[in-house]
């Protein structure tokens, strides 16, 4: 058994960030571009998949709601089988493996079987996508903290909604697109104002990013009106107003530039 252990491979859990390949860490980029065997999720963007080596074996193990996809036990079996065959697996996940990425589950499962696991952190979607949308997660006078919440659960969401609604922090909901009615009802009944700014960030940190802003009691209406599709984050909190200010300032700057250009082309008068 001791001699057999020398042939066990290892698994590298790579956080690929929220979509933009330039947001990959140097370590993640090196692991991906030098990999020989890659298992990847559906939230790994096309631009990052384009970096996969041409000669690498690639296996898609993404999970998508409402579609036939690999289950977590299936993924665990594939990872373990490859590692026990002596292969070095590069397990690529969108965002960060340890933020709603089930990286901890995979790491523990592999470690229990004697498989070496390396972890490379990535920029989680909440941080990357809000930054690209000009929404700071914290801002003096508006939010002194932030909370990341998954709106998806195998059985029932075990959340103290009253406490969450009264945190006066930025709330970022992952996987909450189908739960907008519930989010509105729970937060408002917990004491949060209906006027609290909210934002949808769809396909964040990609060329297809869309940001739509409104109020808490408009959450479902915004989703329907703009036909928001997954993947999308929901941001709730006063910091969303910063993005609105940035939009106004951008329009003002463009107006000023146009006025300056008009003055420059005016003909000189005698």
**Catalytic residue annotation:** 41, 63
- Do 71 and 122 touch, CB atoms closer than 8 A? no
Kindly give, in sequence order, each residue whose CB lies less than 8 Å from that of residue 40, ignoring residues fewer than 6 positions away. 16, 49, 52, 58, 59, 60, 61, 62, 91, 92, 93
As a whole number of angstroms, the distance between CA 113 and CA 237 comes to 43
DSSP string, 182-218: HHHHHHHHTT--TT-EEEEEESTTSTT-EEEEEEGGG
Count, in order, helices (H) and strands (E) of the chain. Answer: 10, 10
């Amino acid at each position: 058994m001791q001699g057999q252990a020398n042939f066990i491979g290892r698994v590298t859990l790579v956080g690929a960030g929220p979509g933009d390949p330039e947001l990959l860490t140097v370590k993640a980029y090196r692991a991906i571009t030098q990999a020989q065997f890659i298992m990847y999720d559906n939230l790994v963007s096309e631009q990052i998949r384009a970096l996969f080596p041409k000669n690498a074996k690639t296996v898609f193990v993404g999970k998508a709601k409402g579609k036939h996809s690999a289950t977590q036990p299936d993924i665990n079996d594939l990872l373990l089988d490859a590692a026990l065959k002596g292969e070095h697996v590069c397990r690529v996940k969108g965002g960060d493996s340890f933020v709603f990425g089930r990286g901890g589950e995979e790491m523990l499962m592999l470690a229990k079987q004697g498989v070496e696991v390396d972890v490379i952190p990535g920029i989680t979607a909440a941080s990357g996508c809000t930054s690209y949308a000009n929404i700071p997660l914290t801002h003096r006078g508006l939010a002194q903290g932030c909370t990341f919440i998954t709106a998806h659960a195998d059985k029932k969401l075990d959340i103290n909604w009253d406490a969450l609604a009264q945190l006066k922090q930025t709330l970022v909901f992952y996987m909450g697109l189908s739960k907008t009615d519930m989010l509105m009802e729970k937060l408002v009944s917990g004491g949060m104002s209906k006027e609290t700014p909210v934002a949808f960030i769809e396909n964040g940190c990609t060329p297809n990013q869309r940001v739509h802003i409104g109020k808490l009691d408009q959450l479902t209406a915004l989703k329907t009106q703009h036909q928001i599709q997954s993947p999308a984050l929901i941001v709730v909190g006063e910091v969303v107003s910063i993005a609105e200010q940035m939009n106004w300032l951008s329009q003002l700057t463009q107006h000023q530039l146009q006025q300056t250009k008009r003055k420059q082309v005016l003909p000189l008068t005698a």
